[in-house]
Chains A and B, each alone.
Chain A
């Protein structure tokens, strides 16, 4: 039950209330505090309630230790952290990995994305469609049948199907999660032909299920949907309407998810999935490009180039020692300063900014920055919102699986997977990639063969960001503004907004609270 405080403001005849909403089904600990004018959110504060301090754990350790420690930042996106750590060391050692190693790295990262996208959509986001708030809704019984926790048919199928998919990472990398097989110069294992065939089988099996259950059509048919008008035409087919994606669209429209959760309307992607020079994989418009998912920064649908030097992190409202304004991650610090009474600080998350601006990242940002015509059209019409953000996540696997098939076919098990890298010299480098939830960067300085400096900026740091030094709200603080809450005791609308960003606080907050909370107990 949320804590509610009534504040009368008779001069405006508006009832002001403050609502504290501890959100479940986000990784780690997150508390959202909103101010309501009548039933509408007029202000919001996002609080990460745990300190982690991986940056401090890494300082003083061996130059390669980030490859082992950072995949343990998160149990969900360890491959993304490994990718960022390895790319930073690739840069410092000036040893680019060979084409086969690039393919293996890509395949592992894409597998992680696909599994996470499906689980988030079917197990986390759409669990809210089965919330009692929607009892009496014409589609509620169908929502229960599909998404009721522990027994919905989509829930059970999603667990059954996704449990096998990550075997691809285990086959290519030796284990999952917390794998450490990417190293400066490539990857440490050479897959056999049997390994590659097994990966192809696992991918084909998953794609067949994804097409049957989620899309209701072949991937190729979905990729023909290039505009809002195309989406309406696509939805007319029974098999499409009755798929989980079709149901999501129908239910989301009925409850108005396209009207809430706008956010800052700035989008950032660091880019990922480098395309080897000899690969047949092409971009969305069949163009030759360096990365399948391009880097960029967009204001609305106006896409511009991305330069990592423009990233800063602010800590004025975070529980860290102030350093004034924002600092680039190479100059950033992680010096915790525990909460004090009457503190203007209110979160363990820092506040990342690009050119001084907050931004959202993740599948929707990737779609806009890559010029995906459907999402460019949808966002061009109504801006970002909960509906279009979750739609992008549900269909991202369709964008990735064709390239995965191609890279599995192109991988030459007799080829080179590792180039001997020199000892890591003193220097600095950064590794940028796209984790499942969006832009992830590691900034590393090495001195005397040891890590002198390590800063990690996660996608959820972009989203869960508190206000910056200029008082500008973070992404989902901004996204919550204007949301109408029908029942403060069950603010399901706030959950829709925050979960549309696929919140993952373990990455974001820089700590530790005992155990994993499970009902009244902790396991």
Chain B
């Protein structure tokens, strides 16, 4: 099973990128092997959705990865280094990825993060949705990793 887990807070526009991608993908017919999850604010409790999956693509709002806004794709290690030194109620995705190898039962899935930096406008959300689908099916070894510049595209 491959999972796309969209996380964030739909009541806060600056953190709503994940739920907006979820809403877009939820209206589509996805391949049977791809499962879509509304991760909300679950944080560490998303572990149960990572467990048992072959590949997991997280979609979330990010800040501070580049001067330009856009869509970023990172692997688990790149995102995990952002984790602070201790757990808190809002530990979030980075903490989860940092402890993943130690707390997961079974085989560790391939984990990727599609991050949207800046305003989650239509083009950013659509780009992130397409990337998420492609990554869920094909994985991260096909040259997607990096920054998709949206400076010339506005929704």
Contacts and interface: CB of A to CB of B under 8 A. Distances in A.
Contact of A25 (B44, B63, B88): B88
B43 A75 contact: yes
Contact of B47 (A155, A163, A518): A163
Contacts of A123: 86-87
A75 B93 contact: no
A521 B103 contact: no
A176 B9 contact: no
Given A177-B45, A515-B63, A160 B89 contact: no
A28 B90 contact: yes
A522 B63 contact: yes
A26 B84 CA distance: 13
A151 interface: yes
Contacts of B88: 24-27, 124
Chain B interface size range: 35 or more
Interface in A118-160: 119, 123-124, 127, 149-151, 155-156, 159-160
Interface in B107-125: 115
A518 B14 contact: no
Contact of B87 (A69, A72, A149): A149
Nearest to B88: A25
A75 to B, nearest CB: 3
Contacts of A149: 85-87
B96 to A, nearest CB: 9
Chain B binding surface SS class: mixed
A205 to B, nearest CB: 13
Contacts of A76: 89
A506 interface: yes
A519 B83 contact: yes
A504 B44 CA distance: 16
B124 to A, nearest CB: 15
A164 interface: yes
Interface in A14-36: 24-28
Contacts of B61: 514-515, 523
B40 A514 contact: no
B92 interface: yes
B41 interface: yes
Contacts of A57: 11
A313 interface: no
Contact of A523 (B14, B45, B60): B60
B48 A163 contact: yes
A173 B137 CA distance: 31
A166 interface: yes
B64 interface: yes
Contact of A506 (B82, B89, B98): B89
Interface string A480-517: 00000000000000000000000010100000101111
B70 to A, nearest CB: 15
Chain A interface size range: 35 or more
A13 interface: no
B40 A150 contact: no
Given A75-B40, A159-B103, A177-B45, A514 B63 contact: yes
B45 A176 contact: yes
A72 B94 contact: no
Contact of A177 (B41, B60, B103): B41
A423 interface: no
A464 to B, nearest CB: 14
Nearest to B62: A523
B98 A150 contact: yes
B12 interface: yes
A520 interface: yes
B48 to A, nearest CB: 6
Interface string A164-186: 10110000000011100000000
A28 B102 CA distance: 27
Interface string B48-89: 100000000000111111000000000000010011111111
A227 to B, nearest CB: 33
Contact of A166 (B45, B86, B94): B45
A75 B88 CA distance: 12
A521 B63 contact: yes
A69 B42 CA distance: 15
B83 A177 contact: no
A523 B82 CA distance: 8
Contacts of B62: 515, 521-523
A514 B15 contact: yes
A523 B98 contact: no
Nearest to A151: B102
A159 B99 contact: yes
B65 A124 contact: no
A523 B93 contact: yes
Q: Kindly name the residue among B45, B65, B85, B99 whose own CB sees the greatest number of chain A CB atoms within 10 A.
A: B45
A156 B15 CA distance: 29
4 smallest A-B Cβ distances: which pairs? A75-B41, A27-B89, A522-B63, A123-B87
21 contacts: A24-B86, A25-B86, A26-B88, A26-B89, A28-B89, A123-B86, A124-B89, A150-B83, A150-B99, A156-B103, A159-B102, A160-B105, A177-B42, A506-B89, A512-B14, A515-B61, A516-B90, A521-B63, A522-B62, A523-B61, A523-B93
Given A26-B89, A514-B63, 9 more contacts: A26-B88, A127-B86, A166-B48, A176-B45, A506-B90, A518-B94, A519-B82, A519-B94, A523-B63
